[in-house]
A = this chain, B = another copy of it.
Amino acid sequence: MTQMHRITLARRPQGMPVPEDFALEADDMPVPGDGEVLVAVTHLSLDPYMRGRMDDVKSYAPSVGLGEVMTGQGVGRVLASNSKGFAEGDLVTGITGWSSHAVLKAGELRKLDEALPPSTALGVLGMPGFTAWAGLNSFADLKAGETLVVGAATGPVGSMVGQIAKARGLRTIAIAGGPEKCALARDTFGFDAAIDHRAHQDARSLRAAITEAAPDGVDVYWENVGGKLLHATLPLMNVHGRIVVCGTIAWYGGVDTGGPDHLPAVWRQVLVKRLRVSGMIIFDHWADFPAFLAEMTPKVAKGEIAYLEDVAQGLENAPAAFIAMLQGGNTGKQIVAL
């Protein structure tokens, strides 16, 4: 094995990415230097935040340069180690990028528990699960008896948001695309109600459905989505409600800035309902990651936390799986198995 493969950013997408925005490249197998570790990637994570990294705009993290490897977290086995901390065969995770192999410094890798499926480190016990846990703990002020609404509810963040909130005594309402996902939300993730946003053409119709599912109003809205779901939910917020802005996937593929201007109405809702809107990015919270793992790893191991994965096969299929995910084609956490 003298070659490695990687997916690079071939050009910047206009709106929704297309396959031609990516390139599959081969290169010589990298050699780890002093204190470095060579990892053979077995599982790669695909996440919505990567869409933002493809744009050349100033954001909370650097964008991927043209011709550079697409960023992302992977899980794999150590092939060669020049660090005392790691030995050949260790199961590890780190920011490998969309690559078959990666050389990382020992400090950039974390050893994984062999007792759990390796891919859990990318989803339920990785960044998405941690995002849900940290965001709810830091910003949502959950109280038993309250009602929570979350979109993309069978995804790895939404499904964890729902399960944590449910465990704390909230009424949980899932918004998902299609009857199959709604059934999963109820049956697998335990949501009290699930609403198919595709069955509602506009915010008004979706709002009527949420109103029926949330007879006491909405206290916590976890924002994964933006767009129609935000417009539907906001007028249902109770006084002193909380909104955690974690993602706006409905707006990722380029935003139609035609009218009407929704901002005045949203600002008015924030004012009259005394809402608290908190933007969150998980990178602010890594100090709490050990506490998250300590709390949630046993629950996942015992099957008390459900999770779903969609697995695409082969690095070469990562772009198509990524594009499908941005269009809502996945059901659970999107993984690429190499």
Q: Would A272 and B263 count as touching, CB distance under 8 A? A: no
Q: Is the CB of A270 closer than 8 A to any CB of chain B? A: yes
Q: Tell me which of B260, B271, B274, B284 contacts A261 (CB under 8 A).
A: B260
Which of B239, B246, B263 touches A271 (beta carbons < 8 Å)?
B246
A215 within 8 A of B: no
CB atoms of A279 and B284 under 8 A apart: no
Contacts of A259 in B (CB 8 A): 257-261
CB distance from A267 to the nearest CB of B (A): 5
Shortest Cβ distance from A277 into B: residue: B277
From residue 224 to 271 of chain A, which have CB atoms closer than 8 A to chain B? 226, 230, 239, 245-248, 251, 255-271
A260 CB contacts on chain B under 8 angstroms:
257-259, 261
For residue A256, which residues in chain B have a CB less than 8 angstroms away from its CB?
Answer: 261
Residue A11 is within 8 A (CB to CB) of chain B in the complex: no
Tell me, in angstroms, the Cα distance from A223 to B277 when the chains sit together.
14
Complex CA–CA separation, A336 to B42 (angstroms): 75
Q: Mark A264-297, 1 if CB is under 8 A from B, else 0.
A: 1111111111111111110010000000000000
Interface pair A248/B272, CB less than 8 Å apart: no
Which residue of B223, B239, B263, B276 contacts A278 across the interface (Cβ within 8 Å)? Answer: B276
Q: Give the Cβ gap from A219 to chain B, nearest Cβ, in Å.
A: 14
Give A256 to B60 CA distance when docked, in angstroms. Answer: 32
Beta-carbon contact of B59 and A264 below 8 Å: no
A262 partner residues in chain B, CB cutoff 8 A? 257, 261-263
**The one of B59, B258, B264, B279 that contacts A255, using a Cβ cutoff of 8 Å:** B264
- Across the interface, do B264 and A261 meet the contact criterion of CB distance under 8 Å? no
A44 to B246, alpha carbons, bound, how many Å?
45
Instruction: Assess the A270–B245 pair: CB atoms within 8 A.
Output: yes
A247's nearest neighbour on chain B, judged by CB, is B271
Q: A63 CB to closest chain B CB, in angstroms?
A: 12
Residues of B within 8 Å of A265, CB to CB, are: 255, 257
Q: What is the bound-complex CA distance between A248 and B260, given in angstroms?
A: 18
Interface hits, A176-221 → B, CB 8 Å:
none
Report, nearest first, the 6 A-B pairs whose CB atoms are least far apart: A259-B259, A257-B260, A277-B277, A270-B279, A262-B263, A255-B264
Using a CB–CB distance below 8 Å, which chain A residues touch chain B? 59-60, 223, 226, 230, 239, 245-248, 251, 255-281, 284
